[in-house]
Chains A and B, each alone.
Chain A
Amino acid sequence: QKEVEQNSGPLSVPEGAIASLNCTYSDRGSQSFFWYRQYSGKSPELIMSIYSNGDKEDGRFTAQLNKASQYVSLLIRDSQPSDSATYLCAVTNDMRFGAGTRLTVKP
């Protein structure tokens, strides 16, 4: 069965630190990968998309994709308390979401 796996956390980092979120997927044919942020009681909000191996940077966020290892990650630099949320990894070949990693950034 195709799966998207994430560490559920919680992951706690101090303000200003780098938060590293990881995701693995089982379907080698997957082509598009996304990170969403979800605040409690709200809908998923798109942060990053990545389609090819390597790094993609957008402001404080960097997504990394390694298709050979079936691994995608999200780095958040200079973490802020407002980044505290659940981060969802999504593989949209078959519309699968991971269960999410809960991140807490402590002031």
Chain B
Amino acid sequence: EPEVTQTPSHQVTQMGQEVILRCVPISNHLYFYWYRQILGQKVEFLVSFYNNEISEKSEIFDDQFSVERPDGSNFTLKIRSTKLEDSAMYFCASSEARTYEQYFGPGTRLTVT
């Protein structure tokens, strides 16, 4: 069964450093998403991506964040100059269409020290 994959599973970085989180969406899906979940809190939408551009973003997704589809399979989230409050689980998801079911990857736990 096709699934979304994410690497790394756990990333530790120092405050102020840049990190890149990687995702491989399900191959026939057209919409890609990043969410984050701070420990004990709700899943929060960051950004959606379609046709090689951002289609929607939340107020959380500020200039510190960027997304890219560098090739035909990978989808990345870059966080520039990480802050302590960026520590969270980051989930990638994909769907066939915007209002269809989203399937989540296993997540990357980001720890900023």
0/1 string, B30-42, CB within 8 A of A gives 1: 0001010000011
Q: A51's closest neighbor in chain B, by CB?
A: B99
Q: B40's closest neighbor in chain A, by CB?
A: A99
Assess the B99–A42 pair: CB atoms within 8 A.
no
Assess the B42–A99 pair: CB atoms within 8 A.
yes
- A92: B residues at CB distance < 8 A: 98-99, 102
Assess the B99–A32 pair: CB atoms within 8 A.
yes
Interface residues of A in 1-56 (CB under 8 A from B): 31-32, 34, 36, 42-46, 49, 51
| A97 contacts chain B at the CB level, 8 A cutoff | yes
Assess the B43–A44 pair: CB atoms within 8 A.
yes
With A43-B107, A95-B33, A95-B56 in contact, do A88 and B102 touch (Cβ < 8 Å)? Answer: no
A-B contact count (CB 8 A): 51
Q: B91's closest neighbor in chain A, by CB?
A: A43
The smallest beta-carbon distance between A76 and chain B, in angstroms, is 19
- A45: B residues at CB distance < 8 A: 104
- A67: B residues at CB distance < 8 A: none
Q: Interface residues of B, CB < 8 Å — how many?
A: 22
The smallest beta-carbon distance between A61 and chain B, in angstroms, is 14
Assembly CA distance A42 to B106 (angstroms):
7
With A31-B99, A43-B107, A46-B101 in contact, do A95 and B42 touch (Cβ < 8 Å)? Answer: no
Q: A36's closest neighbor in chain B, by CB?
A: B104
Give the one of B42, B43, B45, B105 with max A CB within 10 A.
B43
0/1 string, B15-57, CB within 8 A of A gives 1: 0000000000000000001010000011111001000000010
Assembly CA distance A30 to B43 (angstroms):
18
Assembly CA distance A96 to B35 (angstroms):
10
CB<8 Å pairs between A and B, sample of 14: A34-B102, A44-B91, A46-B103, A51-B99, A88-B42, A88-B43, A90-B102, A92-B102, A94-B56, A95-B35, A96-B45, A99-B41, A99-B42, A100-B42
Q: Which residues of B contact A (CB under 8 A)?
A: 33, 35, 41-45, 48, 56, 58, 89, 91, 98-107
